[in-house]
Structure 1
């Protein structure tokens, strides 16, 4: 159920910001361990997240609404799922290039549609399902990396480490979205943006504690390098806070599956960053895949109207 039209601009903005953040985080991951690279988005995102919440309350003054135990439970569950998903995504594009690694994770839209139906009872129109199919076809074409592949080759490619990590990343990102949506639904307020920012602030704090504790116990030397990388990691934190604020607003105001389908537009931004920022070549098959993804987004939007 769509409760506010703000979900659409928030989702589109989230896609652009997340592609930028992922590109910067990939550079961070080249000098940090897997868990340390994942931590920077939460640790450095905390101050920006609190600033967003504080700034919103200055513009729209209101007392903080009450929350219950389920709020913390869903925040923690969604936060943990995002930690796992982020680590898997970083792992995915250590095996292949930036665009292909992200493309595998975009199967999240299809996985999210199924999971949100099973766990939240959210239903989509036939056009939205057609959009999902079109988008999945697009990301699967992107995942070939420009190689000509028959059905057998494609099935074998799905068994590669990048494919397994990317698809698993998409699954946990879908679980993240469901956890966040449920958390926002437990906040006793009609202001969906305030609910989203509250969930974001608490979730990022919990994520920092969870992954920070793990890093201190298992990789204490990496913590020093996390703080030493503050110049680039600070950018990751800022972009992560902005992108997550937009994603969480989308989840608070529209069905998870619809937000994630439209969020596939991130692939277009990702390809732009991969081509212009990371200097990766763009192949003809990637352009066709991009057109399929955009077509899927258009179909999903048509189905939502």
Structure 2
């Protein structure tokens, strides 16, 4: 029998891929900050709807948050914003691909932080699956560069590589923090814990980003308002994807969930091939194969 977190994670990865595609379109009508904000701001009503449906529709009681919950939720929220900012900043570098590759070490870093923060030990099989899938994603990230294994390692201390690693670190911390926040609620059900955690985090992130925009980039507010229809769709898809991530990470270790989440790259390449008729090279094919091997290894040992 397939464990519940697996289809939830695959669904979340698909929705995240869809959200990213629409966000790229929004980048043409607003700045990076605005395109990032809509992911959170327009997701609030849908996150609220998830909690309302569970509470009023299905009769699940609301969790009672505690100090530990708020601490982890805040850490995860700030970590995710920081990681996203660093990832976007990488695109200002001409050779950003290597840095992006290092940012994809998130699952491996999540395994480390899961051990440090929560005392969770991933099995040897799960760790092997994480390594295989991470290496596959890194191959894809540098597929169009004249990069060898040696140069990839020697470039570790380059500025863009360090930014990429920092982004992966922040993503790893946020993933583990979200799991810890959801578990800190202690009930009533894993799905309500996930929905409630998402609601609190997304409101927190919206307030932070809105304050930043008002103080530093007020002109973005007009651009966001004019693009409210696609922004609303981003909010719906983004909140649904996050709900999937939070639910899966309440059930399973964050590192394991994030390893399976690398399947998003397969969805991306499927879109490129079948919808945009783009060709992919041998390294990209090899990377996809490694991701699939990592996922199959993960499912075999899970």
| TM-score (normalised: structure 2) | 0.90
Equivalent of 2:176 in 175, 178, 191: 178
Q: Could you say if the C-alpha distance between residues 135 and 18 of structure 1 is closer, same or farther in structure 2, counting changes exceeding 3 Å?
A: same
Residue 245 (structure 1) aligned to one of 226, 243, 246 = 243
Residue 10 of structure 2, aligned match among 3, 9, 12 = 12
The answer as to whether partners of 2:63 and 2:196 remain within 8 angstroms in 1 is no
Aligned counterpart in structure 2 of residue 209 of structure 1, from 207, 211, 214? 207
Partner of 1:61: 59
How big is the shift at 1:284?
1.9
* 1:72–1:173 distance in 2 versus 1, CA, 3 Å: same
Which string of whole-angstrom CA distances, capped at 9 and with x for unpartnered residues, describes residues 165-203 of structure 1? Answer: 443322211111111111111213140000000000111
Segments of 5+ residues of structure 1 without an aligned counterpart are none
RMSD: 2.6
Could you report, residue by residue, the CA deviation over 1:114-165 in whole angstroms, capped at 9, with x for unpaired residues?
1111211111111111111211221121121333433443245556666444
Q: Distance in 1 between matches of 2:115 and 2:262?
A: 19
Q: 1:43 maps to what in 2? A: 41
Alignment of 1:281-300 (within 5 A): 281-300=279-298
Q: 1:123 to 1:148 in 2, by over 3 A?
A: same
SS of aligned partner of 1:65: coil
Contact 1:196 1:249 in 2 (8 A): yes
Write the mapping of 1:136-285 to structure 2, written as runs, cut at 5 A.
Answer: 136-155=134-153, 158=156, 163-275=161-273, 281-285=279-283
SS in 2 for 1:5: coil
Cα distance in 1 for partners of 2:159, 2:268 equals 21
Change (3 A) 1:202 1:137: same
Structure 1 position 77, deviation (Å): 1.4
TM-score after normalising by structure 1: 0.89
Supply the distance in 1 between the matched residues of 2:154 and 2:276 (Cα, whole angstroms).
Answer: 28
Change in 2 beyond 3 A, CA 1:297/1:256:
same
Shift of 1:34: 2.5
CA distance in 2, matches of 1:205, 1:294: 35
Please report how far the alpha carbon of residue 247 of structure 1 lies from its aligned counterpart in structure 2 after TM superposition: 0.1
Other-structure match for 1:116: 114
Give the paired residue count: 301
Moved more, 215-224 or 98-107: 98-107
1:52 corresponds to: 50
Contact conserved, 1:104 with 1:163, CA < 8 A, in 2?
yes
Distance in 1 (CA, whole Å) between partners of 2:11 and 2:97 is: 19
Q: Secondary structure at the match of 1:189?
A: coil
196-205 or 252-261, which deviates more: 252-261
Post-superposition offset of 1:47: 0.9
Provide the C-alpha distance between the structure 2 equivalents of 1:58 and 1:67, rounded to a whole number of angstroms. Answer: 19
Query: Where in structure 2 are there 5+ consecutive unaligned residues?
Result: none
1:146 touches 1:284 (CA, 8 Å); kept in 2? no
Taking the aligned partners of 1:201 and 1:242, their CA distance within structure 2 comes to 11
Rounded to whole Å, the distance in 2 between the matches of 1:97 and 1:229 is 31
Residues 221-274 of structure 1, C-alpha deviations (whole Å, 9 max, x = no match): 112212222122222111110100000001111111111111111111122344
Q: Distance in 1 between matches of 2:52 and 2:41?
A: 18
- 1:62-77 to 2 correspondences below 5 Å: 62-77=60-75
